[in-house]
Amino acid sequence: MKIYDGGKILLGLIVFVGLAAFPFLYNAGKAAAKPDPKTDTPVIQEMAEKKCVEPKEFMRAGHMQMLNNWRDSVVRDGMRVYVSNTGSRHDMSLQNTCMNCHSNKKKFCDECHNYMAVKPYCWDCHIAPKEKES
């Protein structure tokens, strides 16, 4: 019985290294296309001051937590009004508030989420805005 077969081991190694490198190469290709979320929706275009519920940096880092808090607030406590740091008031609704301004889910939410490979399951129940395929 032959225990050592250099040729097979080498071939095995090449295949292994190829498979191990694949996700990195694949992601490197994707990383080239930086996410570019668009905020040029009809509702936002009408705004005098183009601002989110809270400052942009806060939203970028904290929108998941904010949505969680909103849901808990509405579902558990029946509280529906969010008062921002600047005192502006917002109905705590994913569909009626966030998606009213960000009606371009594909070019906004999905733009980042696809890049980060996160797939919020919210749209199983909540209605995503209707948009034209482009």
Q: What distance in Å separates the CA atoms of residue 30 and residue 115, rounded to the nearest whole number?
A: 7
**Cα distances (Å, whole numbers) of residue 85 to 55, 97, 98, 131:** 9, 17, 17, 31
- Report the interface residues with ligand HEC, using CB under 6 A: 35, 37, 39, 44, 50-53, 56, 59-60, 63-64, 66-67, 70-71, 74-75, 92-95, 97-98, 101-102, 108-109, 112-113, 116, 118, 120-122, 124-126
Least spacing, CB of residue 111 vs ligand HEC, in Å: 6
Please say which residue, 8 or 60, places its beta carbon nearer to ligand HEC. Answer: 60
Please say which residue, 24 or 121, places its beta carbon nearer to ligand HEC. Answer: 121
Least spacing, CB of residue 116 vs ligand HEC, in Å: 4
Residues 6+ apart with CB under 8 A from 120: 109, 113
Least spacing, CB of residue 89 vs ligand HEC, in Å: 11
Q: Check if the beta carbon of residue 92 is closer than 8 Å to that of residue 70.
A: yes
Least spacing, CB of residue 80 vs ligand HEC, in Å: 7
Q: Check if the beta carbon of residue 111 is closer than 8 Å to that of residue 35.
A: yes
Residues 6+ apart with CB under 8 A from 115: 30, 33, 34, 35
Please say which residue, 13 or 69, places its beta carbon nearer to ligand HEC. Answer: 69
Phi, psi (degrees; rounded to nearest 5) at 89:
-110, 140
Please say which residue, 21 or 118, places its beta carbon nearer to ligand HEC. Answer: 118
